[in-house]
Amino acid sequence: MSAQVYAIVRTGGKQYKVAVNDILRVETLPGSKGDEVIFKDVILFADAAGLKTGGETESVQVTGRIMQQVRTKKVLVFKKRRRKNYRRRQGHRQDLTELKITAIQ
């Protein structure tokens, strides 16, 4: 039985477990469709040889390709204070980048 190769990367203030051919939605990254993105902030790397963490992961890079720049569904934020004639409605759509992980080196 072969061990799965995966890594945990940090981007946009969040951590993601990724493997080759995974499709991932992260906070907006600069670039357009087809551009290559390299993640150097690798927290953990696992393969058949074992786990690498901390300073051992400095040589590990995760490479991905931008599939598209997308926006999430609108979330409505509604504030109300009763009996004060105070109502505020605001919408928010988060910008995201959809990536496909191509390599873990």
Residue 97's CB is within 10 A of a number of other CB atoms, namely 23
pLDDT of 66-96, one tens digit each? 999 999 999 999 999 999 999 999 999 999 9
pLDDT of 9-42, one tens digit each? 999 999 999 999 999 999 999 999 999 999 999 9
The model's pTM: 0.84
Burial-class residue 42 by CB neighbours within 10 Å (0-12, 13-18, 19+).
buried
| Strand segments (E) across the chain | 6-11, 14-18, 23-27, 36-39, 42-47, 50-53, 62-71, 75-81, 86-92, 95-104
